[in-house]
Amino acid sequence: MTMQLKKQRLLVIGGTSGFGMAIARQALQEGADVHIIGHTAAHVTAAITQLGPSDHLTGTALDAQNLAQLKTFFAAQPAFDHVVSMLGGAMGGGFLDNSIAAIRQTVEDKFFANLQVAQLASHHLNQHGSLIFTSGAGGRPDNASGAIIGNQAINTMVVGLAVE
């Protein structure tokens, strides 16, 4: 079964580059109204220019890991049909050659930032809407320690969210 996006409202957090921009582009081609979030106004403007200005494309610059900024954003928006989060980054190195602080920050950026998005966005979804989170599959515990933990936590969160 294919998701129908025509006339659907889609939010792509991290939609100004990479996979996020590719998702935004494809959703626009499918007839969705797309809103992208990027970290800076320059990133948002560049992405909108690259995607081709459209009446179906809007964007906002904000720190998607900042609770106050996310709350303000969602409060000012009509509900979305789908929210896609590309939050999180990569991490090199294993458990022994990284500091606890670096590993903790990577888990914070990957898992807790997405959990925060889930908690907020779930109250701003239309009926039958979806929350979509990305996690990486690359690396091994000895060369991507914090990222592996964050990715596994996201996968576990998604299982729990599906039940809730």
Please give the tally of structural domains in the chain. 1
Say what the pTM is. Answer: 0.94
Cα-based angle 57, 31, 162 (whole degrees, multiple of 5)? 90
Residue 121 lies in a domain: no
Q: Which domain holds residue 81?
A: 7-112
Contact 117, 13 (CB under 8 A): yes
For each of the chain's 164 residues, which pLDDT tens digit applies?
456 899 999 999 999 999 999 999 999 999 999 999 999 999 999 999 999 889 999 999 999 999 999 999 999 999 999 999 999 988 899 999 999 999 999 999 999 999 999 999 999 999 999 999 999 887 888 888 999 999 999 999 999 999 99
Distance of alpha carbon 84 from the chain centroid? 5
Residue 101 lies in a domain: yes
If phi > 0 it is left, if psi is from -120 to 50 it is alpha, else beta; for residue 14 that is left
Residue 3: the pLDDT is 67
